[in-house]
Amino acid sequence: MSILIDHCDVLDPTAPRSTRANQSILIVGARIQAIGAPDEVALITPPDALRVDGRHMLATPGLISAHTHSAENFLRGYAERMPLEPWLVWMIGQCGEYTARDHYLAAMMSSIEMLLSGCTGLIDHYWHSGPWNREVLDAGMLAYRDIGIRATVAPLYDDSDFVVATAAKLGFDISQSRYSLRQSPDPAIRHGVLLNNLAIFDDWMGAWHGQANGRLQTFLGPAAGQLLTADCLRRSLDQARKYGAGIQMHCLETRVQDYCIRQTRGCTQIEWMDKEGLLGPDVTLPHSVWIRSEADLDRLARSGAVPVHNPAANLKLGSGLMPMREMLDHGATVALGVDGACSNDNQNMFETVKLAALIHNLKSHDPKTWISAREAFEAGSMGGAAAMLHKGQLGELKPGQLADVVLLDTRSPTLSPMNDAYEMLAYCELGGSVTHVIVNGEVVVKDGALTAIDAAAITQEFRERVDAFPFRHEPPPEVARDMDAIWAFWRDVMQRVDRGE
Ligand SMILES: [Zn+2]
């Protein structure tokens, strides 16, 4: 299968206004074969190639959301004015017992919004409220297989909880609350559950990793630094590496997490992971907000681990500002993520690029340290590719790269006038100009519509299913009790960190 995009403009950082005009792009199989003058590319184009008229179109690499949770699509527009810890209690108190079909629909909903707005790939830190089983794990993969998006799925699990343990030491009992509902108090049982889960995941990884011509990947998703033993993280990395896969682990999203980890481990999360040999290019670290020392920034950059910036979620939950400039200066590769739809609450990567390009301006009086439009866009494209372990293979429009290509109509009101392409993409565009999307050499959006699925029917089924879970404006008494307990603990810890503890 070949595709010829004829007479388009191509995003190019070396060209005036970052745009190379009147080019043709030849895609053969899953990769870009050639980009150049239309008459030259025509000479090597197979006669049966699918032709896409690229006039008045700007071709860009697809954006990649390197962190989301598809199941949160059920909880859009639900919880505001709460930091992460109370928000988690509210969210867990509100979520349903999702079936495999629910997960299929939720994964579809993220993908529909993403593909139509120019995001060609995602890492789904796949969250399920009940015990893991193959049917639930397969559901997300089936959705991503069917719709045609590039997807890496990392099921989320844990085997410890430093927040509950730290709370107990400070005189707060949150062990029975929804904050830690999924964990047994018995370490032996938690270990047994971990081994069972890893065995289920192993079976699933063997079936799915690299399927759909490499478009689908399986990662492991050990939940977060404050929820894992060293044994759990080591087993997770060993198992992922067996498949050439990676892991995704929430890292230092909040000051409460940083405090609880330091109290428990006696050092920072990054120092501990470095000492234990648990960092590497196959480790993706969503949030990474509270990495602050030069030594930790060095450790992070040296390891090649990929921090994932989620500016919308960090703003909504008031978590803090990731040190993106400092990370880039230390040589780290930063990716971007939309995060789940209960903490954003959309799945729009253009908006995330814009936020990443803007929010760091508040931090310094030196504009040279601010994040540029190009840096933000490249974090959303090349950074995401690195998070997916496709560094140098994906995220740029170059011959030899995987063909994830987005075409935007430069006659749209949003892109008129078409000035510097990176600034237009980062500050003006929200996805409304997207007309065509190609993923892994397949056309998945044509003239603004998905080609492989009936988006209206899926959305209708999803909406009907959402109605099965009652919308609550106020938490029911048992959830409100859990929230009171976590708020009291949260205030106590925030006073401690404000005092410099
Ligand atoms: Zn997350």
Per-residue pLDDT of 113-163, as tens digits, reads: 999 999 999 999 999 988 999 999 999 999 999 999 999 999 999 999 999
CA 366–ligand 1 middle distance (angstroms): 31
CA 33–ligand 1 middle distance (angstroms): 36
CA 125–ligand 1 middle distance (angstroms): 7
Instruction: Tell me how far apart the alpha carbons of residues 266 and 273 are, in angstroms, rounded to a whole number.
Output: 12
| 11 pLDDT more than 80 | yes
CA 35–ligand 1 middle distance (angstroms): 37
CA 250–ligand 1 middle distance (angstroms): 6
Q: What pLDDT, on the 0 to 100 scale, is given for residue 316?
A: 98
**Gyration radius of the chain over CA positions:** 22
CA 249–ligand 1 middle distance (angstroms): 9
Query: Could you tell me the domains of the chain?
Result: 2-60+404-453 (2.30.40.10), 63-387 (3.20.20.140)
Collapsing DSSP to helix, strand or coil, 248 comes out as strand
CA 399–ligand 1 middle distance (angstroms): 34
Instruction: Tell me how far apart the alpha carbons of residues 342 and 82 are, in angstroms, rounded to a whole number.
Output: 12
CA 413–ligand 1 middle distance (angstroms): 34
| 471 pLDDT more than 90 | no
CA 223–ligand 1 middle distance (angstroms): 9
Instruction: Tell me how far apart the alpha carbons of residues 387 and 115 are, in angstroms, rounded to a whole number.
Output: 19
Q: What pLDDT, on the 0 to 100 scale, is given for residue 253?
A: 98
CA 448–ligand 1 middle distance (angstroms): 29
Q: What pLDDT, on the 0 to 100 scale, is given for residue 252?
A: 98
Residue 375 and residue 353 in contact, taking contact as beta carbons nearer than 8 Å: no
CA 180 from centroid of its chain's CA atoms: 24
pLDDT top residue among 234 and 469: 234
Q: What pLDDT, on the 0 to 100 scale, is given for residue 453?
A: 98
CA 284–ligand 1 middle distance (angstroms): 12
Residue 25 and residue 34 in contact, taking contact as beta carbons nearer than 8 Å: yes
48-52 contacts at long range (C-beta below 8 A, 24 or more positions apart):
48/2, 49/2, 49/3, 49/4, 50/1, 50/2, 50/3, 50/4, 50/443, 51/3, 51/4, 51/6, 52/3, 52/4, 52/5, 52/6, 52/407, 52/436, 52/443
Averaged pLDDT, 210-229: 97
Query: Do the bridges between strand 221-222 and strand 119-126 make them parallel or antiparallel, or are there none, so unpaired?
Result: unpaired
Averaged pLDDT, 36-64: 98
Averaged pLDDT, 175-202: 88
Mean pLDDT of the chain: 96
Q: Locate tokens 């980890």: which residue? A: 261
CA 220–ligand 1 middle distance (angstroms): 14
DSSP assignments along 91-140, one per residue: HHHH-----HHHHHHHHHHHHHHHHHTTEEEEEEEE--SS---HHHHHHH
3-state percent helix, strand, coil for the chain, nearest multiple of 5: 45, 20, 35
Written as six digits, the tokens of 98 are 């999702």
Alpha carbons within 13 angstroms on the beta-carbon side of residue 209 total 20
Q: What pLDDT, on the 0 to 100 scale, is given for residue 150?
A: 99
CA 332–ligand 1 middle distance (angstroms): 20
| 461 pLDDT more than 80 | yes
CA 257–ligand 1 middle distance (angstroms): 14
| 419 pLDDT more than 90 | yes
Q: Note the pLDDT tens digit of each residue in 237-253.
A: 999 999 999 999 999 99
Nearest to residue 66, comparing CAs of 115, 27, 9, 123? Answer: 123
CA 424–ligand 1 middle distance (angstroms): 28
CA 224–ligand 1 middle distance (angstroms): 9
CA 474–ligand 1 middle distance (angstroms): 24
Averaged pLDDT, 14-18: 97
Q: Could you give the C-alpha distances from 78 to 73, 95, 369, 468, in angstroms and in order?
A: 10, 11, 35, 16
CA 364–ligand 1 middle distance (angstroms): 27
Q: Name the phi and psi angles at 460, rounded to 5.
A: -65, -45
pLDDT level of residue 95 (50, 70, 90 thresholds): confident
Q: What pLDDT, on the 0 to 100 scale, is given for residue 17?
A: 97
CA 500–ligand 1 middle distance (angstroms): 27
CA 4–ligand 1 middle distance (angstroms): 38
Nearest to residue 322, comparing CAs of 273, 284, 363? Answer: 363
| 94 pLDDT more than 90 | no
CA 280–ligand 1 middle distance (angstroms): 20
Instruction: Tell me how far apart the alpha carbons of residues 164 and 181 are, in angstroms, rounded to a whole number.
Output: 11
DSSP assignments along 436-500, one per residue: EEEETTEEEEETTEESSS-HHHHHHHHHHHHTTS---SS--HHHHHHHHHHHHHHHHHHHHHHTT
Averaged pLDDT, 39-63: 98
The phi-psi region of residue 140 (left if phi > 0; otherwise alpha if psi is between -120 and 50; otherwise beta) is alpha
Percent of the chain with pLDDT over 70: 100
Cα dihedral 227, 231, 237, 243, rounded to 10, equals -120
CA 151–ligand 1 middle distance (angstroms): 16
Instruction: Tell me how far apart the alpha carbons of residues 89 and 487 are, in angstroms, rounded to a whole number.
Output: 10
| 63 pLDDT more than 80 | yes
Could you tell me the pTM of the whole model?
A: 0.98
CA 69–ligand 1 middle distance (angstroms): 6
Point out which residues pair with 35 in neighbouring strands. Answer: 25
Averaged pLDDT, 351-363: 97
Instruction: Tell me how far apart the alpha carbons of residues 351 and 386 are, in angstroms, rounded to a whole number.
Output: 21
Task: Give the sign of the dihedral formed by CA 131, CA 137, CA 138, CA 139.
Answer: positive
Collapsing DSSP to helix, strand or coil, 299 comes out as helix
Q: Name the phi and psi angles at 8, rounded to 5.
A: -100, 170
Residue 334 and residue 379 in contact, taking contact as beta carbons nearer than 8 Å: yes
What count of other Cβ atoms lies within 10 Å of the Cβ of residue 181? 12
**What distance, in Å, lies between the first and last C-alpha atoms of the chain?**
60
| 472 pLDDT more than 80 | no
Instruction: Tell me how far apart the alpha carbons of residues 366 and 493 are, in angstroms, rounded to a whole number.
Output: 32
CA 392–ligand 1 middle distance (angstroms): 26
* Residues 6+ away with beta carbon under 8 Å from 11: 18, 19, 58, 59, 60, 61, 397, 421, 422, 425
| 181 pLDDT more than 70 | no
CA 390–ligand 1 middle distance (angstroms): 21
